[in-house]
Amino acid sequence: MIVARRMLADRRRATAWWAIGTAALVVFTVALYPAVKDQAQVEDLLKTMPEAFRNMIGYDAAVPMTSPAGYLHARLFSTVAPVLFLVFGIGAGAAAIGGLEETGRLEPLLANPVTRARVAAERYAAAIGLLTLLGVVFAVTLAASGRPAGALAGISAGHLIAAAAAMLALAVLHLSLAYAIGAATGRRGPSVAIPAAVAIGSYLIHSLLPMAEALAPVRYALPWYWYLQRNILAQGLPPAALIAPLAMSGVLFAIGWAAFQRRDLR
């Protein structure tokens, strides 16, 4: 794992800053919970909002916004946190091959006694490792800071881990897409832009589609639906939220890995 270790070392400083930012976001969100939990009018206000808006902030009528699970889902798990993880994941996935190749740094590496297959596999593993590390920081910070603020009341450890894992799986999927595009094209631009467009586009479709009844089945194909179909903190993990994105990630990795070995370097 020499190649993977090198990539982890090269990105350790940037990842440390991301970890600090993630932890700060969690602590800040949790710290605000005591101020929200007694305000029943938030709940009433939300009930008057259009459904598309409620969808967008992850509101679920079965889980009150003032409950810990409702609050964390709306303020963290369905909004800011996945955006953070997707941005980081897409960046890591694009850097694995596309970014390295575009800067010309791949060729000197490949002049060493390593196969392309090994470099492509190890750098994918390293990107996944970096993202997972960020996920662990997120979950651990939430577990540690949530209890004193009462923001974890009624949320089992299993549900907390499941929600973090599902969010991570969503980010892994976009990371894998960025990786596959970078590995197939050797360019960083499209391997960042396309997954970002996919994430934003599918998010908009997911949040607006419920209004068009006839198109509802389309939702089932959306990664955001797998992840947001229910409040995992309150209701547990739907298996598809892990299995579907990870299976697709496996396919994307295989495509990128194979394409990278067949083509000319740029």
Partner 1 sequence: MNGPAIHTDALTKRFGTLTAVDQLDLRVERGEVFGYLGPNGAGKTTTIRMLLDFVRPTSGTSQVLGGSGADPAVRARIGYLPADLPVDPRWTAQTLLDFYGDLRGRRDRTWERTLLDRFDLDPSRPVGELSTGNRRKVGIVQAASHRPELLILDEPTSGLDPLLQQEFLILIRELVTDGATVFLSSHVLPEVEALAGRVAILREGVVVAQAGITELRRTARTRIDLRLTVPADPAPFAALPTVVEATADGDLLRLVVEGSVDAVIKTAAALPVEQIITHEADLEDVFLSYYTTQDGGRS
d(CA 15, CA 130): 7
DSSP output for 201-248: HHHHHHHHGGG-GGGGGGGGG-HHHHHHSS-HHHH---THHHHHHHHH
List 112, 213, 214, 239, residue binding partner 1 (CB under 8 A): 112
Measured from the CB atom, the residue of 35 and 111 that comes closer to partner 1 is: 111
Cα→Cα distances 242→85, 165, 173, 178, 223, Å? 16, 7, 10, 19, 10
d(CA 127, CA 211): 37
Piece of the chain touching partner 1 by CB under 8 A; list 113-121, 195-203, 221-229, 241-249: 113-121
107 lies in the binding site for partner 1 (CB under 8 A):
yes
Measured from the CB atom, the residue of 103 and 156 that comes closer to partner 1 is: 103
2 lies in the binding site for partner 1 (CB under 8 A):
yes
Piece of the chain touching partner 1 by CB under 8 A; list 83-91, 114-122, 166-174, 199-207: 114-122
Phi, psi of 60 (to 5 degrees): -130, 120
Cα→Cα distances 48→39, 45, 51, 109, 230, Å? 16, 5, 9, 59, 21
3-class SS of residue 63: strand
Amino acid residing at 265: L
17 lies in the binding site for partner 1 (CB under 8 A):
no
Piece of the chain touching partner 1 by CB under 8 A; list 32-40, 49-57, 99-107, 127-135: 99-107
List 50, 113, 217, 239, residue binding partner 1 (CB under 8 A): 113
Q: How far is the CB of 15 from partner 1 (least distance, A)?
A: 14
* Region of residue 58 (left: phi > 0; alpha: psi -120 to 50; beta: else): left
List 6, 25, 210, 248, residue binding partner 1 (CB under 8 A): 6
265 lies in the binding site for partner 1 (CB under 8 A):
yes
16 lies in the binding site for partner 1 (CB under 8 A):
no
DSSP output for 115-149: -HHHHHHHHHHHHHHHHHHHHHHHHHHHHHHHTTT
List 34, 105, 136, 197, residue binding partner 1 (CB under 8 A): 105
Total residues in contact with partner 1, by rule CB under 8 A: 18
Measured from the CB atom, the residue of 1 and 83 that comes closer to partner 1 is: 1
User: What are the percentages of helix, strand and coil residues in the chain, rounded to 5?
Assistant: 80, 0, 20
Measured from the CB atom, the residue of 200 and 265 that comes closer to partner 1 is: 265
Which residues within the stretch 160-189 sit at the binding site for partner 1 (CB under 8 A)?
Answer: none
Measured from the CB atom, the residue of 118 and 230 that comes closer to partner 1 is: 118
111 lies in the binding site for partner 1 (CB under 8 A):
yes
Binding site for partner 1 (CB under 8 A): 2-3, 6, 10, 103-105, 107-108, 110-116, 264-265
